[in-house]
Amino acid sequence: MKAKADPQRDQFDSSAIHCVGIIPAMHKRRIASAVRDIVEWLGERDIRALVPAEQAETLGLPETASSLDELSERADLMLSMGGDGTFLSTARIAAPRGKPLVGINLGGFGFLASVPSGDEMLPALSSGLKGMLRLQHRMMLQAAVKRRGSEAASFLALNDIVVGKGAFSRLFRMRTSISGDRVSYFPADGLIIATPTGSTGYSLSAGGPIVDPDVRVIILTPICPHALSARTLAVPPDRVIEMKIPDLHGAEVNLTADGQEGFVLHSDDVVVVREAPFSARVVVFDGSSFYARLRTKLGWGSHR
């Protein structure tokens, strides 16, 4: 019997890579030498390296892109060099244009980045970026803030969209509905709406489940709910989540995307979250499986 094709994975021919866009985390201690090593390694293979103009000038590199839009437009492959935060921000740039993404871990935890730094970096890239590359499609979310009938802001997220109270706010009640059906109206610090990729982040800390990234599901996890019956809810990816912000009486409530982009919400705002029309296309390296990272990074299933 012929095996069914996996709709969550596809392939990409490495010989089609002629230009690589590099997004470096400039605050990392080893970033300058690591980027220069990558640029030299790519040059030896007649592959152009593009770095955002400001970072390229700081690093003394000649090949630059004037903006992130230009970089993502010209690149055949996007390279995130930093920690998980850099990977998330790079995914939001690469995914709308369908560009494959590789993460090099120059941070501490490095759950999302699959390529190690240091002496292992170039051998790992040489081994992984040849022939037909396996790609994993990571589900993304898009969020819109509706204010008085107009769209006040929009966001993309690979990990999560969070609606939560500010530093000095009280618990607040938020009417949440899923595709028109009301779900909850209990007091809480907020609500996390996560992808399977984000299931190992903030949602996990708030009591949510760990979900294999090949599963397409939207995860709703309440933050410190004042209701014993409040539990995480997983819904199909075609559902639309709406959150109606109540009269805040001066309290502060914010929306954050991947913990990196934020927006202050007003009374009567409506936050609408749904699956994005595109996925992050992440290059899968041998030996970098999701379950291997669960064991090594989170200590899942280990006996100590």
Active site residues: 84
Do the strands 64-65 and 48-52 form a parallel or antiparallel pair, or are they unpaired?
A: parallel
Between the alpha carbon of residue 178 and those of residues 108, 183, 184, 232, 300, the distances in Å are 37, 7, 10, 14, 32
- Give the position of tokens 């959150």: 243
Rg of the Cα trace of the chain?
20
CA–chain centroid gap for 3, Å, is: 30
134 - beta bridge partners?
11, 284
Whether residue 51 contacts residue 26, with contact meaning beta carbons closer than 8 Å, is answered with: no
Residue 118: DSSP 8-state: G
- Give the position of tokens 């003394």: 60
Q: What phi and psi values does residue 71 have, to the nearest 5 degrees? A: -60, -50
Nearest to 256 by CA among 217, 209, 202, 188: 202
To which H or E segment does residue 177 belong?
strand 175-178
